[in-house]
Structure 1
Amino acid sequence: METEITIRLANEQDLDKIVEMLADDELGRNRERYEQPLPESYIKAFDAITSDPNNELVVACQGNEVIGVQQITFTPYITYQGGWRATIEGVRTSSQVRGKGVGTKLIKWAIQRSKDRGCHLVQLTTDKQRVDALRFYESLGFKATHEGLKLKLE
């Protein structure tokens, strides 16, 4: 029998597995540095995220094994009468469990967490090269209602 999947806030001991999952991806291979010891930049980012009450880094676990990750940022806006929205970023699952419902569980958890925090909207972006990811998010009710733009700073 498979162990139930639980979702919890990430702790520093999870950071190695988180970076490994981020790098275990066609696009992540080119932008992440999974090596031992982990580059200090990941530790600093983790500390900044976990010390900010409007950021949550969460992991999905099967038993004691981390098998998924996502970050949720809660942002107040002047628009929508001063409403709050949640942004989901960095969603990854371990390659051994892809296609087995872990991502669905993570996103549904994030949606409920956003409701609990009083958000009126949940948003996310996915790289246009991730056709399967786009289809996945749409299957969960997300709609491509806006055109997103990014400017890479060097």
Structure 2
Amino acid sequence: MKITFRPAEQQDLPALVGMLADDKLGATREDLATPLNAAYLSAFHAINADPNNELIVADLAGQPVGMLQLTFIPYLTHTGSWRCLIEGVRIHQAYRSKGLGQQLLRWAIERARQRHCRLVQLTTDKQRPDAMHFYQGLGFSPLTQA
């Protein structure tokens, strides 16, 4: 399976929204209406215009089969370093449990290194225990809330 990772394009939006909606939580908060809700297009343009945000697609033969968003954040800590926040990680249902998520996250971590980030963090909903377990397997540690 030859996967490439590339910036999302506007024509990818319906597939990306479909992946976001394809679980119990996403089904309650995403809008699969046709035509696509204009708010998605507005968000896409805002992400695209910001040099510190990247919406990335895992592409298989021209079709989006995975996605995530990277946000690069400057900090004063760690001697004025940068960190990378990974959010919105999704793999198309037909491609789950095939190693694609691991490839996508490893690519994202390497991208953070290219941008000279000293720290990589990600967010996930605690109602997604399988995702939390997956991220821990890649070396991420959950933070406890105060």
User: Is 2:90 aligned against 1:84?
Assistant: no
Which residue does the alignment assign to 1:52?
50
* Counterpart secondary structure, 2:95: coil
Please report the TM-score for the alignment, with normalisation by the length of structure 2. 0.96
Whole-angstrom distance in 2 between the partners of 1:30 and 1:64: 28
Change (3 A) 1:139 1:56: same
Which residue does the alignment assign to 1:127?
125
Whole-angstrom distance in 2 between the partners of 1:6 and 1:25: 24
User: Is 2:100 aligned against 1:102?
Assistant: yes
Whole-angstrom distance in 1 between the partners of 2:88 and 2:49: 18
The aligned amino acid for 1:25 is D
Which residue does the alignment assign to 2:23?
25
Superposed displacement of residue 148, structure 1:
5.1
> Which runs of structure 1 show a deviation greater than 6 angstroms over 4 or more consecutive aligned residues?
none
Superposed displacement of residue 78, structure 1:
1.1
* Counterpart secondary structure, 1:96: helix
* Counterpart secondary structure, 1:86: strand
Which residue does the alignment assign to 1:7?
5
Whole-angstrom distance in 1 between the partners of 2:66 and 2:4: 10
Whole-angstrom distance in 2 between the partners of 1:148 and 1:86: 20
Change (3 A) 1:148 1:91: farther
Which residue does the alignment assign to 1:152?
none
* Counterpart secondary structure, 2:118: strand
CA deviation digits over 1:63-107, x for unaligned, max 9? 111100000000001111111000000000101111111111110
The residue correspondences of 1:141-152 to structure 2 (distance < 5 A) are: 141-144=139-142, 146-147=143-144
Superposed displacement of residue 147, structure 1:
2.9
The residue correspondences of 1:28-47 to structure 2 (distance < 5 A) are: 28-47=26-45
> Which consecutive unaligned segments of at least 5 residues does structure 1 have?
150-154
- Report sequence identity in percent: 51
Change (3 A) 1:33 1:71: same
When the two chains are superposed, the root-mean-square deviation of aligned CA atoms in Å is 1.1
> Which consecutive unaligned segments of at least 5 residues does structure 2 have?
none
